[in-house]
Structure 1
Amino acid sequence: MAGRQRRFSILGKLIVTFLIVLSPMYVIGTQINEWGAGLVRKEISKSLESQIQFYRSSLENEIDRMGRIQRQFMNDEDLEALSVTADSLTEYQKLVILKRFQQRLVLLKESSMYIERASVYIPPINKIISSTELADSLPRERLDRLKQDSFSHKGLFYRDSDHLYLREYYPNNQLVEGRDPMFVLELELSMPAMQSYLAQISNYDQGGAAIVKADWDIVHTQNKEAYALIRQTVRGQLSALQDNSLQIVQAANELIKIGNQRLLTVSSYSPALDLILVAFVPEKAVMGPLDHYQVYLYLISLCALIVIILFSIYVYRIIHRPLSRLVRAFRKVESGDLQVELTYKSSDEFHYLYAQFNNMVAHLKKLIFEIYEQKIRTQQSELKQLQSQINPHFLYNSFYLLYRMTKAQDFENSTRFTKYLGDYFQYMTRNGSEEVPLERELSHVRAFAEIQTIRYMNRISFEMEPLPEECKQMLVPRLILQPIVENAYHHGFDQDHHERHLRISTRCKEDDDGERFVIIQVEDNGKGMTGEELRNFQAKTQEGQATEEVTGMLNVHRRLQLRFGEKAGVRILQREEGGLIVSVVIPFVE
């Protein structure tokens, strides 16, 4: 049947139609929400960019103003007198000049909130004058450190531990020549003032701001985890700017995500100070206008959910519930329960379906009675016939052998032979159940094999491995092993075959589907089968119902398949050393 149409249920069609109707509402609501989010984010980003540029400009102006004041001090008469003509001054003159110059340092310190302390180092007189101390001695180690900083430093700022400085060396040429400078003017920046400056930029709980240089930073934030990631990114940008691989922009913004937190980050690079001023704000704190859009979207979703629930209940009542009853009824029929009858009160299409189902079940009952049960009776009668073919197989040869042993006065073997023969015929002529425990069936095979051992005067050795305990009481059809063992004795060995041996073993095995089987193997080292004989046997085992009379192993194969199904039967394999391995496969039944 070509082009078989794929099934699509009524419920599926209704649900798809419902989703098609509601999809535009979700699309419109989502687009409105995204548009609002983009609009607010854009405006907030512009505002933050303008704000960070303002604070960057104010910082640049303040630092530039302090630098210009520093440079004005280079021409200060008192500073020149202390550094150049100090030897010509009396101690009193030096003290007056020191006090007067310290007052100017105090004024310099008070001129900006960002200056913590103003100091001047004067190597010719080995003094340090600061806004907090009139005069202190200048250790040589401190002077050497100042000179070393001037050589290793790049940029405007000097960083020493937790302190930040602005310095002016006078004159610079003496440093290049390795001599001490005449004086060093130093402004120490106030860290609390810098922190307060950064707090004005971003004062949100999870936000913050920072001044980032390549080797140091000043940061104001409680969100250390977020800043660690931002600092890594900003320093990468700063390195690219210094390598001229990134174009300088006034301000840049991006949205970063840390765990469940989303942060709006804005940064601005200052070429004059060679640093980046960065601020980051939690997106939730600035996206307040989006709450209205979220509420609208939630209302639409809630309405859609209510409609879906009501629609599902309605579909269940008029379509799904009658279909479910019909499906359950079909499953009962499939499992073999034909005592099923459906009733339906309404007069719609399901009433017709239920009536036709009841007619189908009644027709199946009639067919089963007329065909299926008759087939079973036919199979049972065939099984009886197949079993009857086995019973009197070797009566004549057995009594003739007994006659010969008695005539030869071999009373020991004749006694054993008589016992085994009695056990054999007691089992063969036994009336009752057609199924026996596997242990009993193997005991009968042992008696048959002992008879054959005596008959062949021990020229064919026989071995039977112990039966697993779990398999002893499993019921199997009678006389399923004797034909296979008998076939091995009669057809498996040539007259000139030496060291002839027969072995019977039993084991349990589990297949890929988890089903357990009992496998009884009859193995001999005889001449085996030709390839054509083996193919003929396998073909006959796959023919199903045969028209010709069957005996031996085919007999056993058909009996097992009639009793246990297609997975049971007889399997034959050629041994590499010669001979056959005949396996009787039976599904394991507790």
Structure 2
Amino acid sequence: MVTRVREELTAIRSSSEYISSVGTAVLPFGYTISTNNGITKLPNPESELIEFYQKHKQTQPLYYFDNKLYFMESANNGNILVYVELSIPRLEQSLQQLLEPYKDSGASLVNDALSHVVSIQPNSFMWKNISTYFDDERDNLNPSIVPHVEHENYLITRIAVSSLGLTLYTYLNQDEITDPINQFNYWLVILTFLSLAIVVLFGFSLNWMIHKPLKRLTDLFNRVEADNLIRSSRPQQDSEFNYLYRNFDKMMDKLRQSIQENYEQKIALQYSEMKQMQSQINPHFLYNSFFNLYMICKSGDMESAALMAQKLGGYYQFITRNGKDEVTLEEEYQHALDYCEIQSIRFANRITVEIAELEGEFALRNVPRLIVQPLVENAFEHAFDNGTRRGVVRISARCTEHILHIKVEDDGQYLTDDRLQELQVWLAASDKSVEKTGLINVHRRIRLKYGEESGVVVSRSESGGMKAELWIDFKGGANQDVQNADCG
């Protein structure tokens, strides 16, 4: 029987590393059996432990005696006592592992008498005052507090083990807990600002390397769309956009060359048409002029015959002159006046010509030849033809700033709405293949030289005939040499 008890006690001792020894006392027989001392007769070293248990018997089985920790229970009306001694070093080692990461920390298992059963890294000041931190009942409900101890903040926690009558207290320097968090927050802030700086630098680099070159290229295309054929200003740094800029410049050079060639071809064509128009003498007008001169001579009016011959000579000299492509507005105006006087003789003075005088310095401005007379010729040929009714032709010219406006209107009755609309359509499509009349020819030449804002406009006059208006913008088109001139 004794051997079996010893084997059981040994088995209990070997079951856990937290058990130092196991023993039992059979008080009626006066013997104790333990794993450390074997079978001994009372009194022996266990006698004081048995006496302590009998005097301080409590509801919890855990007893702290002689700096040792025991689990003790009695049976058979207190005649048999069983005790298990716990290994305090092993418990301290476990607590040490729990608080190992923290230097300024400690832990203690405390009984109800506030005796430190197991303590590690004790801070005497901390443990002397630890009970006072939880004296208030309100604090007793709180498992942790943060007192200010010796200029430091500590986190103190309390966990009660009611079944054993023990309380586990731990304390940690709050700085050791918060320092890693503060350090993490510090690096988080630095990395955040660093990331923002990288994002900003990346944004600036995108703006400098991609957005600005693209915007510059877009602006160049917008200028080209507005007929401003300029070369690109390539960025100084080497980038992928240099290829686009080089090809843009090549495209502009080719486009400029094509426009120049097309312009020169149009100029040559218009010059050819003007020369052809100069060389073409209306046989009907020539026949009527000589017939009228013959009738005047036959009537004996030598003064009128001389005037008629003079006007005819001046008229044909002007239109057949091949030396200059431009004349002064005064000369062009006089040529139209000579034509009017010849036609007045032809129509037996039934047609009244009202010509406003040229005023100011703009009379000396150079204009293309044969731009006014075709407008006057159109009025005589289509407004009056060979009718017998009287009529009026009005010619006026004015200049404001850089705009020249010449107006020729009549009160003829032969212009139908269909004919007027047909002329307007022809003028609108003057760059296409349409009938080449003197009016259309003037319109094309003016627009080619001075741009789209210049040209001939026809409408019905207030007196019911046709009103032909010639507009010249000296700042437009290819006429760059007169851009800043004043019209006087």
TM-score w.r.t. structure 1 length?
0.42
Greater percentage in helix: 1
Q: Which has the higher contact order (CA 8 A, sep 6+)?
A: 1
**Looking at CA atoms only, which structure, 1 or 2, has the larger radius of gyration?**
2
